[in-house]
Amino acid sequence: MAIKQFEDLKVWQSSREFVKSIYKLTSKTKFKNDYGFKDQIQRASVSIINNIAEGFERDNNKEFIRFLTFSKGSAGEVRSLLYVAKDLE
């Protein structure tokens, strides 16, 4: 089966679930009162899914790989922010 749209990509589907998890986590009391931190982790998680979609829509493998690299960077940012959240309890 050829993938015709980014919604068919397993990585995009997983990223969508991940964004939902981040939003659920950040709706909890300690997160929702720290607007800067909450906004940063939400933006970084949304960046993961959006870069996958944007790269796919470029219709060019080189560009797609470039945008997957951006997405990977955003995933690292979210991981780092989750460590900060864990350290601050």
- Give the type of residue at 61: N
On the question of pLDDT at 1 being above 90, the answer is no
Q: Where are the domains of the chain?
A: 8-87
Mean pLDDT for all residues in the chain: 94
Q: Can you give the pTM of this predicted structure?
A: 0.90
Domain 8-87: CATH architecture, name and number where available:
Up-down Bundle (1.20)
